[in-house]
Amino acid sequence: MNSFFDILEKLPNLPDDQRKLLEESVKVIKVKKGEVIQQRGDLVRKGYLVKKGLLRSYSVDAKGKEHIYIFAPEGWIAGGLEFDSENPRTELFIDALEDSEVEMANSNLFNHYLSFLDEEALKVEISRLIRRVSVLQNRVISLMSSTATERYEEFLKTYPQIVQRVPQRMIASYLGITPEALSKLKGELVRK
Amino acid sequence: MNSFFDILEKLPNLPDDQRKLLEESVKVIKVKKGEVIQQRGDLVRKGYLVKKGLLRSYSVDAKGKEHIYIFAPEGWIAGGLEFDSENPRTELFIDALEDSEVEMANSNLFNHYLSFLDEEALKVEISRLIRRVSVLQNRVISLMSSTATERYEEFLKTYPQIVQRVPQRMIASYLGITPEALSKLKGELVRK
C-alpha cells in the first residue's frame, strides 16, 4: 500500500461527512531517527505507513534486551490498525532507524473502513488476513526450526532494500543471534 | 467449534444440493496413536477438528529434530482450511498423540462457506482472523523474547487440559528447550 488515503478511494459509497472524518484521522508526521512513537502497553492502536525512511518494531525482554519483530521500510506498515478486543494493549515498541516521514492512522479508520465494504471487498480483506496468518505461521516455524543461515537468507529475501541501511547488530537481533555469530555466518556464505 | 457441521447450520440460504456436497466433504475418521495424517509438502489443505483424543502439528528441521507448533485436544483444529495461494504447500506434519476421533474437511468447505456468507458473517470471520493474527504475533514475540519459564506458564494457560496427557519431552519441544531444562524449570517453580 502506498498511502492510507488509497483505502478511501476504494469506498465510492462513503458519505461526504464520513469521508472528511476519515481523511482527517490520517496524519502525516515526521519522525526523527531514534524517536520512539509507540510504547509497550499503549492502548490506542495505531498503524504507521512509511512514506520515506525506516521504522522498526521490537519487544524488550525482562533483561532489557531488544528483539526486532519487523523492519518497516517505504511502503510497509508498522503497528497495526486491526484491534483485537481480547488483547487491547500493544506488546511492541516502535521507533525510527532513519529520519522518516510517516502516515499515522488509528484503528477507527479500519473499523469505519470495514463498515463501508461490500461483500466482494470483505472477501478481499479475508484473503489479506489469511495471507498474514500464513506469513506469521511461517515466521513461528522458522523461529522454531530454521538454522540461523536459513533465517538470514529469508531476511535477505524479505528485505532486499534495507540490508545496507541497518546496523549488523540489529540484523542479528532480528535473527535472534549474536553479532559475532552473524559475522561468522556471512563469512561462511561468502566462501560457499 | 464443536463440529464442522456447525458451519453448515449458519448458512440457511445454502441450496440443498450444495449443502449435500458440503456435508459429504466432511469425513469422520479414526486415527491411531502415532499415525501421521499430514506430511510436509502436501498440496491438499485439510483441517482436522478433534472430537476425541489429541493431535499435534510439528515441523522437522534439517537435522531431523521435531519442533511442536500446536497441540490439538478436543475442540481444537489442527491443519487449516484457509488456503493461501502464495503458499500452497503445507509446512507441517500432523500426527496423533492418542487414539483419536477426528472430523476431516478440505479447503473446499471453507471456500464454499465464504461464498455463502452475508456481510455480517464475513465481518465475524474477519474478527476471527484478526484474533488469530494477534495470537500468532504474540507467539512470535514470546519465541523471541520470553524466558523458558514464561513460555511454560503460557503453555499451562493455553493447554490446562493436556499437561498430564503429553510426555515431558514433547512439552520441552513445544517450548524449544531440552527435557533437562524443563525439569529444572519445574523444580524452580515448585520451590517458589
Q: Which residues of chain A have pLDDT under 70?
A: 81-87
Say if residue B58 is in the same domain as residue B113.
Answer: yes
Say if residue A9 is in the same domain as residue A88.
Answer: yes
Q: How many independent structural domains does chain B possess?
A: 2
Per-residue exposure over B134-159, b if at least 16 CB sit within 10 Å of its own CB, e if not: bebbbbbbbbbbbebbebbeebeeeb
Say if residue B106 is in the same domain as residue B147.
Answer: no
Final residue before a domain boundary, out of A117, A144, A161: A117
Is the Cβ pair B133, A137 closer than 8 Å?
A: no
Q: Which residue in the set A67, A83, A145 is minimally distant from B144, CB to CB?
A: A67
Average pLDDT, chain B: 87
Say if residue B108 is in the same domain as residue B42.
Answer: yes
Say if residue A25 is in the same domain as residue A90.
Answer: yes
Contacts of A141 in chain B (CB under 8 A): 59, 67, 69, 91-92
**Residue scoring higher pLDDT (A97 or B191):** A97
> What does the pLDDT read at residue B93?
94
Final residue before a domain boundary, out of A117, A152, A170: A117
Which cell numbers in the block locate residue A65?
534486551
Say if residue B81 is in the same domain as residue B159.
Answer: no
Say if residue A105 is in the same domain as residue A181.
Answer: no
Nearest residue on chain A to B173, judged by CA atoms? A144
Quick count: other Cβ atoms within 10 Å of Cβ B47? Answer: 21
Predicted structure pTM score: 0.81
Is the Cβ pair B140, A140 closer than 8 Å?
A: yes
Is the Cβ pair A141, B84 closer than 8 Å?
A: no
Q: Which residues form the domain of A136?
A: 118-192
Min distance B10 CA to chain A CA atoms (Å): 17
For chains A and B, count residue pairs whose Cβ atoms are closer than 8 Å.
Answer: 114
> What does the pLDDT read at residue A130?
84
Final residue before a domain boundary, out of A117, A137, A152: A117
Nearest residue on chain B to A136, judged by CA atoms? B136
Min distance B66 CA to chain A CA atoms (Å): 8
End-to-end alpha carbon distance in chain A: 37
**Residue scoring higher pLDDT (B90 or B180):** B180
At residue B24 the predicted structure's pLDDT band, cuts being 50, 70 and 90, is confident
**Residue scoring higher pLDDT (B146 or B110):** B146
- A97 backbone dihedrals φ, ψ, rounded to 5°: -90, -15
Say if residue B87 is in the same domain as residue B129.
Answer: no
Is the Cβ pair A67, B141 closer than 8 Å?
A: yes
> What does the pLDDT read at residue A83?
63
Residue B103 in contact with residue B26, Cβ under 8 Å?
Answer: yes
Q: Which residue in the set B84, B123, B176 is minimally distant from A134, CB to CB?
A: B84
At residue B83 the predicted structure's pLDDT band, cuts being 50, 70 and 90, is low
Helical (H) or strand (E) element with B114: helix B107-115
Query: Highest mean pLDDT range out of A87-91, B38-42, B52-56, B143-147?
Result: B52-56
> What does the pLDDT read at residue A186?
93
Per-residue exposure over B90-129, b if at least 16 CB sit within 10 Å of its own CB, e if not: bbbbbbbbbebebbbbbbebbebbbebbeeebbbebbeeb
Say if residue A42 is in the same domain as residue A127.
Answer: no
Nearest residue on chain B to A138, judged by CA atoms? B91
Poorest-pLDDT segment among A67-76, A137-146, B91-100, B168-177 = A137-146
> What does the pLDDT read at residue B3?
86
C-alpha distances out from residue B187 to A177, B190, B191, B192, Å: 28, 5, 6, 9
Nearest residue on chain B to A86, judged by CA atoms? B131
Q: Which residue in the set B91, B136, B176 is minimally distant from A136, CB to CB?
A: B136
Calpha distance A157→A181 (Å, rounded) = 20
Nearest residue on chain A to B68, judged by CA atoms? A144
Strand-strand pairing, A100-106 and A55-60: unpaired
Which cell numbers in the block locate residue B153?
506458564
